[in-house]
Structure 1
Amino acid sequence: MTGQISFPRQYARTQRFTLGAPRAFTVSPDGTRVVFLRSRSGTDRANLLWVRDLESGQERIAADPAALLGGASEELSAEERARRERSREGSAGVVGYAVDEAVELAAFALSGRLFTAELRAGTARELPVPGPVVDPRPSPDGRRVAYVAGGALRVVDADGAGDRALAAPGGGESENADGVTYGLAEFIAAEEMDRSRGFWWSPDSERLLVARVDESPVQRWWIADPANPDREPQEVAYPAAGTPNADVRLLLIGLDGSRTEVEWDRAAYPYLARVHWSPAGPPLLLVQARDQRGQLYLTVDTETGRTRMLHADEDPVWLDLFPGVPAWTPDGRLVRIADEGGARVLVVGARPLTGPQLHVRAVLDVSQADILISASAGPEASDPAIGEIHVHRVNELGTERLSEGQGVHSAVRSGTVSVLSSATLGASGATARVLSDGKSVATITSYAEQPVLTARARLTEAGTRRIPCAVLLPTDYREDKGPLPVLMDPYGGPHGQRVVAAHNPHLTSQWFADQGFAVVVADGRGTPGRSPAWEKGVMNDFAGATLDDQVEALQGLAGNHPLDLSRVAIRGWSYGGYLAALAVLRRPDVFHAGVAGAPVTDFRLYDTHYTERYLGHPDEQGKVYAANSLVTDEGLSGAAETHRPLMIIHGLADDNVVAAHTLRLSSALLAAGRPHEVLPLSGVTHMTPQEQVAENLLLLQVAFLKRSLGMA
């Protein structure tokens, strides 16, 4: 690699090889245009808005942030920084956009200013409105743009005239403006429910459904910057497990000033999880009970605001939320994803259209002819297809797989035109092909850099539970070299599938392997993509189930892989950080060193929607919380007397897994006389987008692991 950039530097500089790759595709209903985001190179953070004309084959820039801002650097409002942190967005420029129904007009925010782009003409302009602007969205007819500024939902004509507030904090006679916003998703919705928006246009462009969020009931935390003691701490409304959530209501607001509150039993179903409003039917809501064991699909009477229950779900463990549902078919049937008969299936109306051969993950598009879904192999699939995710076409006649080859695939579609994104084990990055009537008509070019190394992940299963695993050995490994020190490299918990049939997700593991390790990535119980029972096998038992499966995977692989079980380390971030610390504390007979990044060490400090789904309410499940904690007396009582080296890493600006997790663990370990190292990262959030920080974190981890395992 002489004269070549190092992998850690390249990995950081390219933001995990995402820069320069096209994303956020939209297909116009007439099938003539594909709109997308992409930066100019694999190291350029600033995304531009692009249009691919399918008739001429040309790509053109619809919006260039540098030109629109006159070369000035971006300035982000607190609300926009929070939105990007919730979505783990580390790039710059146009990071998101919304379009009208015809995909003629796009709206987006830059530096808190509102811009629109005429997608046919390829011209962009700024609309002079109050800021900072958050989440602008054109009306379906393209005549207006709604947006949020200062906690108020506002609307402006597409030509920049007629700007006004439709709903503002303090606007009502009895409303206290403190903590109230209109049109924004609350922390819980954005972080845990995958609902990043807070307002929805009516199909006729005359009204909007608007979330009114009152955060005054939520406890306040303060996140300080110890490296700059002259700065005031940041106040954060953080709904920790067992504490009050924000009060969320939904209003129907007309452009004529009318205002009607949507009514449902908010005491029994406080979580507003999904909102869908399309021409195929009345507005659809999905609301959840706080324990997430019950949820209702509701339709809204747009004249009175009253709701009617269309369907109710109950589950003794918990109910998951899925992308793309609920929705209407064009003929007015409810589309949902449900756990039935041990499988996760697509249900249209009252009829399941898929069976246990598929594990449905998302609805991608609904048309008159069929429904496009994303799915992995189900519990009764003839081929486990480890780590594969495919696009399927489903209708009353059956199911047809549209994506080909071992890989991870997704799609967006409008009419007969779709964009199919595919990543495989054998090639870096992903390809984005445009299909018309199933035939490839174009490829959207990616400017992402090629990694300086090649990941050689072998996907397999291990143990009696057939745990999905990826094994990576050094690039130059030969069998005569004998067994290697092992590095377990999991996420290992809910929402985080690491064993995937794609190249780039395994690059960091391959780099660690090239430092002299046999790297094992294991997706045990709790991880997504296999079956409902697999995901729900961690109920009340993070500490037992997820750790047991890491041990089982390691020992199951040892028989036919060169693993030196006398030298085993484990590393991870977030839930993986929790798992790494748990491993060296509870199972030092198996794990000899650990690196825990941003670990959740006390689940009473984590948020309501996530934590209570898996562990219940802490007031009712105190023993469960204590047993799964790393810092309580009961949690530490499970720690063995043998002490193993542990490095704990945490960003001090993290507002998701706050630094108190690491500080409390360090204090508990110190009180117990257990040696450990703490690496605080000043100014770093739950992401580590800073180039130098991301690079040096990898180097420091390798040095610690080699030192701890006695490697030369």
Structure 2
Amino acid sequence: MNFRFLGLAWLLTTASPALLPGAAPAAFAQQKQPITLEDIWQKGTFAAKSVPGFNWMRDGRYYSSLSKDGDLLQNDVTTGQPVQTLVAAQDLKLPGQAQPLPVDGYSFNADETNILFSTATEPIYRRSSKATFFVYDRATKKLTPLSQAPGKQLYATFSPDGKRVAFVRDNNLFVTDLATMQETAVTTDGAQNRIINGGTDWVYEEEFEFAQGFQWSPDSRQLAFYTFDETEVPEYNMQEWGPLYPKDYRYKYPKAGEKNSIVRISTYDVAARKTVPMDVGPEKDQYIPRILWTQTPNVLSIRRMNRLQNKLEILHANAQTGQSQVVLTDTDPAYVEVNDDLRYLAGGKEFLYTSEKDGYRHLYLHSMDGKLVRQLTKGSWEITSIDGFDEKKGLVYFTSAEASPLERHLYRVSLKGKGKIRLSEAGRGTDVVNLSPDTRYFLNYHSEAGLPQVVSLRSGQDGKLVKVLEDNAALRQKLTQVDLGKLEFISFRTAAGVQLNGWMIKPANFDANKKYPVLMHVYGGPGSQTVKDDAGGGTAFTNYLWHQLLAQNGYIVVSVDGRGTGARGSRFKKSTYANLGGLETVDQGEGAKYLATLPYVDKSRIGIWGWSFGGYMTALALTKNADLFKMGISVAPVTNWRYYDTVYTERFLKTPQENSAGYDDNSPVQHADKLRGKLLLVHGTGDDNVHFQNSVAFVEALVKANKDFQTLYYPNRNHGIYGGNTRLHLYRQMTDFVLKNL
């Protein structure tokens, strides 16, 4: 179906008489243009401009960047203009090569005299990649391969003194001395699908959100590193389609209730070439989600969690002996979340930590023995991140949802818990910041729902504007020429007395006397939010445009954040604990019931769609709430939590052995016989995260129940289902499905 033609036809048949055939030519000149699928996913017509997060230099007045020609530049942060060329592209030639290296990444040593350049980077999973690295000496202009051994390297990192580089290759950890370029193997037992040194396994990378598994000590004398023994973790096998005989891809993936990797932490003394194992406890059925060198010599901070993740301990370990002691314990009846907010202060006497122990995530100051010094922030609102710290003045910079669960803004407070101020400008919306290490400046990415972001440079002292770097004025002007409906926030109370937030997009020519079909968009996973006062980035903004495209064609689009979502405190978020999908499905149903009461909604034509956890919610909505939804599109859904990984699933459901009902009661597979509406089920066969197995199981149950449905699978595509024309094709199928069935 040609959607460009359909959009215009719909406009003509519903427009006012002044716009119908026979009207004056001037009227047509004022007609706004429809959005097309090609605009969104092929032409980039409405792509917002941004400013990459600054690679701040030692002197906070400057940042570095690569030019289009491959030169490495030093730029003035206040003007954005280059002030000097640090490395010319022509200096990045290897002997015998006519062309410079096609550089795709770089990092400086501490005094910025040496640079690590990467080339031919290959992504592995969500946060991991491998590349070929080169060391460049700015004084001599000499370019040297980091390693002469075959194979690409991962996570190459300068030591703080700039004398060495540590990296991973073939699951082993290495150190190269830059004075001699001699390479030393820290470990030698690494093996595919067995032992990983210096990196993480799949589930740590995905769920604890880091891939590099080693850190230099502040004095550069030692490395602390992870070792994963994943020998007993079951393998998952995916087929890669294309050749005459499809290839198998096998990797270790611990599904809920199955064995995890055994994780060990060690330190390596570079001069002595001595490895010391740290005492992390029983090893089995526990996690080590973070390690961090403190500001005290030879003291390594290790965070340890039990398998159910309702107990987190901070250990301080002696890097020379391996002996450790617990200095702080944080517990929760449901689960404790892991983040990067732990900060050790200069002088080695105190550390900052965030906790939800009073019902909201707040900031606490502790002495090195773990004793509470004071709580720095307090109130019925959440800190969402620590963004920087001014050691000299004792000031902590953080982002919070204090103004509203729908907003995010930058604040600052002293270590005394006094003088908290908002640095973001007054007004609504969301601010995302990139603070310079010396807190002198910060990049501020400000957006509001339905409006492209404005990127500005601001003073870290008072938040005052220094310079607008990108205002997306051209895009804002372009959007005024498009037939856009207004996005408005809504709120309603459920039958259980719970106040829920949502947003609604109505057609631009909305008529309150007409009845409109509604498509609901859902994600709904623990701590997530689709209802925020921001433009969103990437997929979020393209989905906004797609929702506007549907509004052009006579649909109202709505999203509701139910119980379990974020920024409203621990009790609201963790109310879904051990019964994932239960209350969330109820609340999406309550959203549909609320919409059905609105005089301009056709209650017989309410649909729902979502991706990943949202795909799971869609499948549940169409089965457990079959009387409320006429159709749904479920993309890359979990359909049985027994198929998903240990860390995420057990955090919210416990293990299947302990809570079988929590896994089965809200599995769409168990409710397939209740399906009544039209279903489109979409999945990528190369999804390493939510396995294609989930959709296979749901299809099997639907066939057994003799239910009609449509499926759409994308060969070798991962969880994001993209590449080439994939997104355009996918959203064309989704659009057609909505038009035909809603």
TM value normalised by structure 2 = 0.82
Matched, 1:460 2:484: no
CA distance in 2, matches of 1:203, 1:17: 45
CA distance in 2, matches of 1:235, 1:65: 40
Matched, 1:25 2:60: no
Q: Deviations over 1:225-256 (max 9, x none)?
A: 34545232100111100001111111101222
* Distance change in 2, residues 1:253/1:460 (3 Å): same
Matched, 1:261 2:277: yes
Matched, 1:312 2:312: no
* Distance change in 2, residues 1:222/1:701 (3 Å): same
CA distance in 2, matches of 1:65, 1:680: 43
Deviation at 1:17, TM superposition (A): 7.7
* Partner secondary structure for residue 21 of structure 1: coil
Deviation at 1:675, TM superposition (A): 0.8
* Distance change in 2, residues 1:334/1:386 (3 Å): closer
In structure 1, list runs of 5 or more residues that go unmatched.
41-45, 75-91, 171-175, 378-382
* Partner secondary structure for residue 186 of structure 2: strand
Deviation at 1:159, TM superposition (A): 6.5
**8 Å contact kept, 2:592–2:628:** no
Q: Which residue does the alignment assign to 2:18?
A: none
**8 Å contact kept, 1:148–1:182:** yes
Q: Which residue does the alignment assign to 1:360?
A: 383
Kindly report which structure 2 residues correspond to 1:71-150, keeping only aligned pairs within 5 A, or say none. 94=104, 98-102=107-111, 105-107=114-116, 109-111=118-120, 112-116=131-135, 126-130=145-149, 131-150=151-170
Kindly report which structure 2 residues correspond to 1:387-466, keeping only aligned pairs within 5 A, or say none. 387-395=406-414, 396=416, 397-404=418-425, 405-411=427-433, 412-425=435-448, 427-435=451-459, 437-438=461-462, 439-444=464-469, 450=475, 456-463=486-493, 464-466=497-499
Q: Which residue does the alignment assign to 1:571?
A: 609
**8 Å contact kept, 1:455–1:507:** no
* Partner secondary structure for residue 551 of structure 2: helix
Q: Deviations over 1:124-156 (max 9, x none)?
A: 875454331111111112222211111111222
Matched, 1:373 2:388: no
* Distance change in 2, residues 1:613/1:437 (3 Å): same
Kindly report which structure 2 residues correspond to 1:433-582, keeping only aligned pairs within 5 A, or say none. 433-435=457-459, 437-438=461-462, 439-444=464-469, 450=475, 456-463=486-493, 464-474=497-507, 476-480=508-512, 482-504=514-536, 505=540, 506-557=544-595, 559=597, 562-582=600-620
1:692 is aligned, of 706, 716, 725, to: 725
- Structure 1, 617-626 or 97-106: larger mean CA deviation: 97-106
* Partner secondary structure for residue 436 of structure 2: strand
CA distance in 1, matches of 2:633, 2:268: 51
* Distance change in 2, residues 1:699/1:561 (3 Å): farther
* Distance change in 2, residues 1:447/1:310 (3 Å): same
Matched, 1:347 2:347: no
| AA at the equivalent of 1:277 | W
- Structure 1, 530-539 or 498-507: larger mean CA deviation: 498-507
Q: Which residue does the alignment assign to 2:312?
A: 295
| AA at the equivalent of 1:457 | L
* Partner secondary structure for residue 283 of structure 1: strand
**8 Å contact kept, 2:171–2:197:** yes
CA distance in 2, matches of 1:47, 1:488: 45
Q: Deviations over 1:171-213 (max 9, x none)?
A: xxxxx77611211122121101122320101101121111111
Q: Which residue does the alignment assign to 1:334?
A: 351
* Distance change in 2, residues 1:440/1:669 (3 Å): same
| AA at the equivalent of 2:265 | L
CA distance in 1, matches of 2:421, 2:395: 10
| AA at the equivalent of 2:239 | A
**8 Å contact kept, 1:433–1:444:** yes
Give 1 or 2 for the bigger CA radius of gyration. 2
* Partner secondary structure for residue 574 of structure 2: helix
CA distance in 1, matches of 2:666, 2:232: 27
| AA at the equivalent of 1:401 | R
**8 Å contact kept, 2:264–2:283:** no
Q: Deviations over 1:45-91 (max 9, x none)?
A: x99976433477523776899996989999xxxxxxxxxxxxxxxxx
**8 Å contact kept, 1:106–1:118:** yes
**8 Å contact kept, 1:108–1:135:** no
CA distance in 1, matches of 2:49, 2:689: 28
| AA at the equivalent of 2:570 | P
1:653 is aligned, of 668, 686, 694, to: 686
Q: Which residue does the alignment assign to 1:183?
A: 198
CA distance in 2, matches of 1:542, 1:586: 14
Q: Deviations over 1:474-528 (max 9, x none)?
A: 2x22325623211111111124321121124333333333332111111111222
* Partner secondary structure for residue 691 of structure 2: coil
CA distance in 1, matches of 2:65, 2:621: 43
Root-mean-square deviation (CA), in Å? 3.5
Q: Deviations over 1:358-390 (max 9, x none)?
A: 30112122332211112113xxxxx5x252111
Deviation at 1:447, TM superposition (A): 9.0
CA distance in 2, matches of 1:217, 1:251: 21
- Structure 1, 117-126 or 259-268: larger mean CA deviation: 117-126
